[in-house]
Amino acid sequence: MPLAIAVCVKRVPDTAADKILDPDDFTLDRDSVEAILGPVDEVAVEEALRLKEAHGGEVTVVTAGPEGALVKAARKALSMGCDRAIHLTDPALHGSDALAVAYALSMVLAGRPFDLILCGSESTDARTSLVPPALAEFLGLPGLMAAKVVTVDGAAVRIHRERDNGYDVIEAAMPAVIGVNWGANEPRYPSFKGIQTAKGKPVEVLGVAEAGIDAARVGLEGSQSRVLGVAARASARRTIVVDNKAGDAHIKLADFLQEEHFI
């Protein structure tokens, strides 16, 4: 059965880049740093493409944010092989917390005939892991999280849910929301042809009003959590010198680690 798959992606700062926060509202100044497609979202995109290759169908990439979300995140997904994109962009979304983002995405996706909605299980800038389960809740769909393996059998989707000591096998009827874990696959590199064709793929652009989003439920004012302050991590470090004049440095080091409860 051909699958209609949506995959939600986010533009995040490059892990190695220095981050700058707005001093007024403590939101990340995303235009001041190099941005990339979220690495865990990239794994979700790869999983969506593999499901499409196995079953047929179409993959739609969904992103929210300013123009950079389309250029840095959605375009990368399109160049990997996604078929079309939906870009939710509106100044009213600025400062939305995880719950507000999940609500906004649910309004974009509600009523569209997707069999599966895939997300990276976490973003590398916020790391809350809240959006995928909240999205499932808003949509009233089964939410299968921490997926390391995703398979489809008829009208059902099955995942291996990663645990510390193994995995659980979880199954649900489609449509469903899947949170894909880091390491589920090795994302493909976009080909030159893929990069070129991505520029011509259809992009549906929506604002808050067009998506039917209640503006009072998004943005800084509509979010239920807010950052009240930030501080740089202390850079001073304790230095311990272990001498080995008596040839017993290994014992001293082991004793130190044990006293500090590192081992």
Cβ contacts of residue 35 below 8 Å, gap of 6+? 11, 12, 13, 14, 68, 72, 73
Higher pLDDT, 126 or 190: 190
CA proximity to 97, closest of 139, 134, 42, 45? 134
Residue 107: count other Cβ atoms within 10 Å of its Cβ.
Answer: 21
CA proximity to 116, closest of 6, 224, 252? 6
Beta strands in the chain (DSSP E): 3-9, 11-13, 35-37, 57-64, 84-88, 116-120, 143-153, 156-163, 166-173, 176-180, 203-206
Q: What is the pLDDT of residue 113?
A: 95
pLDDT confidence band for 262 (50 / 70 / 90) = confident
pLDDT confidence band for 98 (50 / 70 / 90) = very high
Q: What is the pLDDT of residue 41?
A: 96
To the question of pTM greater than 0.75 for the whole model, the response is yes
Q: Are 218 and 184 in contact (CB under 8 A)?
A: no
Determine the 3-state secondary structure of 228 from DSSP: coil
Q: Are 69 and 63 in contact (CB under 8 A)?
A: yes
Distance of CA 6 to the CA centre of its chain: 13
pLDDT confidence band for 140 (50 / 70 / 90) = very high
- What mean pLDDT is reported for the chain? 92
Q: What is the pLDDT of residue 39?
A: 94
